[in-house]
Amino acid sequence: MKHKRTIGCVVVAAVLFACGPTASERQPGTAADPLPSWNDGATKSAILEFVDTVTTEDSPDFVAPEERIATFDNDGTLWPSHPMYTQLAFALDRIKELAPQHPEWKTTQPFKAVLEGDMKTLAAGGEKGMVELVMASHAGMSTAEFEAIVSQWFKTAQHPRFKRPYTELAYQPMLELLEYLRANGFKTFIVSGGGIEFMRPMTEAVYGIPPEQVVGSTIKTKYEIDDGKPVLIRLPEIGFIDDKTGKPVGINEFIGRRPIAAFGNSDGDVQMLEWTAAGGGRSLEMLVYHDDGEREYAYGPAGGLENTPFGTFSQSTMDEAKKSGWVVISMKNDWKRIFAFDE
C-alpha cells in the first residue's frame, strides 16, 4: 500500500516539476511578467537575462540551486534611508522615551541635541556620538525585551514625509525582484549595516526574508541565568560593523558562500559588489540610484540633495560601477512605481 502510494507520488511530483513557467517563457508586459513595477528597458532585461542564464540547465552559466545566493543591502536599497536611517529614528524616539530616567541628558551631548531636536549638532557629533546614542538606546536589556520594544515601535512609528509605518515603505519593484529570485531557486539574504536585531523582527513580514537570512551589525550579548531563567543581555559594546569591507567579512562568516547576485545603493556596498563579482562565474551586481526627488529622494552625483551620512553615493562609486559593468537602477526611469501604495 505504502509502496504504491510512493510510486504515485513520484509520478505526481514529476508532473508538478514540469509546471511553473520558465524565466524565458515570461515576457515583460505580458500577464506573466514577474516584475510588473519595472519599466521595460535595459535594467529590467539585465535581470531577466541573468536569471534565465543561471537557471537554464544547458547554459554554460548554469548555477546549481544551492549556490544561488543573492544579498541585499537594506537602507536605501529595499526601503528609504532618508531623511535619516530608520534605525536612527528609532534611537531618537527611544532616547526621548528614556530621558525622564536620565536628567543628566539635558546637559550632555549628544543627548541634549536629541532632546532639543538639534539635528545639526547631532550630525556634527559624528560616529562617536552615534555610537553613544545606539549604546544608550539599544543595550542594557535582554534580547527578548529589545525585540518587544522594536516590534512595538514598528507598529506605531511613521515616516515623517510619507506618513505611513516604515514597514509599508518597502520598494515595490524590489519586493517583486526578491520574489522573482526566490521563485527561481535563489536564497535571498539581507546584508546591511543596520543592527541585526533591529531588522529581524520585521524582515519576514516585510521582505519574506526569515531572521536566519539576515546579516547585520551586532552588539555583544552575554548569557545569564536570571531568576532561574536563561537570558541574553545586550551589552553596550560593538560586536561587528557590517558595512564597507565588513560586508564581505559578514557574508563569509554568516553565509559561508559567495553571492552570485548583490544589490546595494551606496559607497558602503561597494566591497560587497566587488566580492560578488570576483566569484569567477556569471554574477549580477546592481546599485539603486536615488534620482527621483519627486517620488522619493535624489542624491549622489546627479542628485539635488547633498550627500548625507545616510547612504552616500560618491562619484567614485558611479565610476567603479561603470568600469565593472554593474547595473545602475534609476529609480526615476526604471521604476513604474516606488511603493505598493503608489498608483
Residues that bind a second copy (CB under 8 A): 2, 5, 8-9, 12-13, 15-16, 19-21, 31-32, 66, 69, 143, 187, 196-197, 200, 204, 210-214, 218, 221-223, 225, 229-230, 232, 239, 245-246, 248-249, 252-257, 271, 274-275, 278
Instruction: In angstroms, give the least distance from the CB of 308 to a second copy.
Output: 25
**Cβ distance to a second copy smaller for residue 5 or 163:** 5
- Closest by alpha carbon to 190, among 180, 182, 200? 200
Element (H, E) at 91: helix 86-98
**Cβ distance to a second copy smaller for residue 4 or 120:** 4
**Cβ distance to a second copy smaller for residue 16 or 42:** 16
Instruction: In angstroms, give the least distance from the CB of 83 to a second copy.
Output: 29
Extract the C-alpha cell encoding 197.
536585531
**Cβ distance to a second copy smaller for residue 239 or 309:** 239
Check if the beta carbon of residue 136 is closer than 8 Å to that of residue 92.
Answer: no
Strands (E), the chain: 69-72, 187-195, 214-226, 229-240, 261-264, 284-289, 327-330
Instruction: In angstroms, give the least distance from the CB of 211 to a second copy.
Output: 3
**Cβ distance to a second copy smaller for residue 245 or 308:** 245
* DSSP per residue, 282-314: --EEEEEE-B-TTTS-B-STT-SSPP-SSS---
Check if the beta carbon of residue 22 is closer than 8 Å to that of residue 32.
Answer: no
Instruction: In angstroms, give the least distance from the CB of 335 to a second copy.
Output: 25
Check if the beta carbon of residue 207 is closer than 8 Å to that of residue 190.
Answer: yes
Instruction: In angstroms, give the least distance from the CB of 243 to a second copy.
Output: 11
